[in-house]
């Protein structure tokens, strides 16, 4: 029994040892397989990490591209550039704007002389550059300079505030700017129907100065305007003279009872008071609606002067391609002699003009400022069309004879032809018939051989212009 138990125990031990030995073999095999699986997992993990790293790098690159695109889009929103009507730069929110522009007018004139010599010639009538802009939507500025005639002259140099729009679009302007006088004065030289404004404007506005340094305010609605202010010296005033500066005040009211595209009736009235503290000279000596010659009527220097009152009425109408326009201007001046005797002199001028567009356009009118604006051809030359063709005629008169001042009387007929190639380029031709009375002797220094007097001198003038503005 004991031997049997020993044999059984020995057999059991052998069996256990065999089992253990077999398990070890299986365990060893499993361990090797596990190690291989771990190595494979490590490789897969490394590959996954590499792929993840590549994805992150691609995402980062894409984010950079999106950020750059967003920044570019934002930059475009914040910064806009256009070239319509000038070189214009504008912020995306509209708070800041700047416009660079200008105009060039090249003229030539030929004279059919009567009693005095007149030299045919050419000139740059205007050669201007300007910078205008807006800051914070309500603050506006402009600086414009003319370089014609080999000289530099200030035109509009101003600051304007328009933050009170709720009160009839109230605006306040400070600086060197136009005085509110005459419809043809307020209408830009780029848009008037003739090469030169009338002799009435030349005598009573241009000779005194159509722009001065001052402050003015304006109100307007859709079809009316009211402007008034106070002005002092011009830009070239001599501060070293120590004399009191001239000053003036005035206003202009316009109303268009009929106002629409191609249908306009304009009415206007203006007045101006000019004070002359240092009793300096005032002279009225306009040119005969041609800038390439001297004047033929002239009051000479009226001195000493106290004050000057100017006033005028305006009327204009547009009916499709047809237009009529006329103005009357009067200037009343007081002269005080050494005996303290004041003498008054009254001078006046007027014009009536009509025009018609052969190609069907109409004159554009701004009811809120009471003036005419840019002509837009129905089909410009670059669009394959003829551009806009306009014929015009004007009859004007000026009387500088009153009392002891015999400055002369002048009447002019002007025929005009305008070709608008596009809204910014225009060619003009004017033919002027001048009719002066016996007192119009302003060109006496240029008498022709054999003539003894420049009175009743009646020349003919043909002039042309090439004009571009931007």
For position 19, what pLDDT does the model report?
A: 46
Q: Kindly state whether residues 144 and 246 are assigned to the same domain.
A: yes
Domain boundary pick from 47, 82, 117? 82
Closest CA to 255 of 206, 220, 213, 205: 220
Domain boundary pick from 38, 60, 82? 82
Q: Kindly state whether residues 265 and 328 are assigned to the same domain.
A: yes
Domain boundary pick from 31, 57, 82? 82
For position 416, what pLDDT does the model report?
A: 98
For position 66, what pLDDT does the model report?
A: 76
For position 338, what pLDDT does the model report?
A: 65
Q: Kindly state whether residues 63 and 166 are assigned to the same domain.
A: no
Distance CA 428, CA 390 (A): 10
Per-residue pLDDT of the chain (470 residues; tens, 9 = 90+): 444 444 444 445 445 445 444 544 555 566 777 778 778 877 877 887 787 787 777 777 777 777 766 666 655 566 788 877 778 898 877 789 999 999 999 999 999 999 999 999 999 999 999 999 999 999 999 999 999 988 999 999 999 999 999 999 999 999 999 999 999 999 999 999 999 999 999 999 998 889 999 999 999 999 999 999 999 977 666 656 656 788 999 999 999 999 998 999 999 999 999 987 766 789 999 999 999 998 999 999 988 888 899 999 999 999 999 999 999 999 999 887 766 677 899 999 999 999 999 999 999 999 999 999 999 999 999 999 999 999 999 999 999 999 999 999 999 999 999 999 999 999 999 999 999 999 999 999 999 999 999 999 999 999 999 999 99
Q: Kindly state whether residues 78 and 99 are assigned to the same domain.
A: no
At 225 the three-state DSSP class reads strand
Q: Kindly state whether residues 154 and 26 are assigned to the same domain.
A: no
**Distances from the Cα of 322 to the Cαs of 185, 195, 223, 357, 390, in angstroms?**
21, 19, 20, 7, 10
Q: Kindly state whether residues 111 and 56 are assigned to the same domain.
A: no
* Cis peptide bond N-terminal to 60, omega within 30: no
Q: Which domain holds residue 393?
A: 92-469
At 322 the three-state DSSP class reads strand
Query: Does residue 87 sit within a domain?
Result: no
As for how many domains the chain has, the answer is 2
């Amino acid at each position: 029994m004991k031997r049997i138990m020993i044999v059984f125990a020995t057999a059991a031990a052998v069996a256990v040892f065999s089992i253990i030995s077999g398990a070890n073999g299986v365990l060893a095999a499993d361990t090797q397989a596990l190690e291989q699986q771990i190595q494979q997992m490590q490789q897969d993990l490394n590959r996954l990490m590499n792929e993840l790293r590549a994805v992150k790098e691609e995402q980062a690159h894409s984010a950079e591209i999106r950020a750059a695109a967003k920044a570019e889009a934002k930059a475009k929103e914040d910064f806009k550039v256009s070239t319509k009507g000038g070189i214009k730069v504008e912020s995306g929110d509209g708070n800041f704007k700047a416009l660079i522009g200008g105009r060039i007018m090249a003229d030539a004139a030929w004279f059919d002389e009567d009693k005095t010599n007149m030299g045919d010639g050419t000139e740059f009538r205007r050669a201007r550059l300007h910078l205008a802009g807006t800051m914070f939507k309500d603050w506006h500025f402009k600086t414009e300079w003319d370089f014609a005639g080999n000289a530099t002259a200030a035109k509009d140099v101003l600051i304007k505030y328009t933050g009170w729009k709720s009160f009839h679009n109230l605006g306040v302007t400070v600086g060197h700017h136009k005085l509110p006088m005459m419809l043809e004065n307020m209408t830009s030289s780029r848009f008037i129907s003739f090469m030169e404004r009338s002799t009435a404007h030349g005598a009573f506005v241009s000779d005194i100065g159509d722009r001065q340094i001052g402050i003015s305010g304006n109100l307007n609605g859709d079809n009316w305007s009211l402007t008034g202010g106070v002005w002092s010296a011009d830009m070239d005033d001599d501060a070293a003279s120590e004399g009191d500066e001239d000053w003036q005040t005035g206003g202009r009211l316009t109303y268009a009872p009929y106002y629409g595209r191609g249908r306009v009736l304009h009415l206007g009235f203006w007045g101006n008071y000019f004070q002359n503290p240092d009793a300096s000279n005032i002279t009225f000596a306009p040119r005969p609606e041609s800038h390439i010659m001297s004047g033929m009527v002239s009051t000479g220097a009226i001195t000493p002067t106290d004050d000057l009152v100017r006033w005028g009425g305006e009327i204009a109408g547009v009916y499709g391609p047809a237009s009529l326009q006329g103005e009357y201007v009067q200037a009343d001046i007081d002269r005080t002699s050494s005996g303290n005797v004041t003498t008054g002199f009254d001078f006046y001028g007027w014009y009536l003009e009509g025009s018609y567009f052969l190609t069907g356009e109409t004159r554009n009118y701004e009811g809120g400022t009471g003036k005419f604006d840019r002509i837009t051809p129905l089909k410009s030359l670059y669009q394959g069309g003829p551009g806009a063709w306009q014929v015009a005629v004007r009859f004007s008169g000026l009387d500088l004879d009153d009392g002891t001042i015999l400055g002369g009387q002048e009447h002019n007929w002007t025929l005009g032809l305008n070709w608008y190639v596009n809204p910014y380029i225009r060619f003009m031709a004017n033919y002027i018939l001048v009719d002066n009375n016996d007192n119009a002797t302003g060109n006496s220094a240029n008498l022709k051989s054999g003539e003894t007097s420049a009175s009743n001198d009646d020349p003919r003038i043909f002039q042309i212009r090439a004009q571009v503005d931007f």
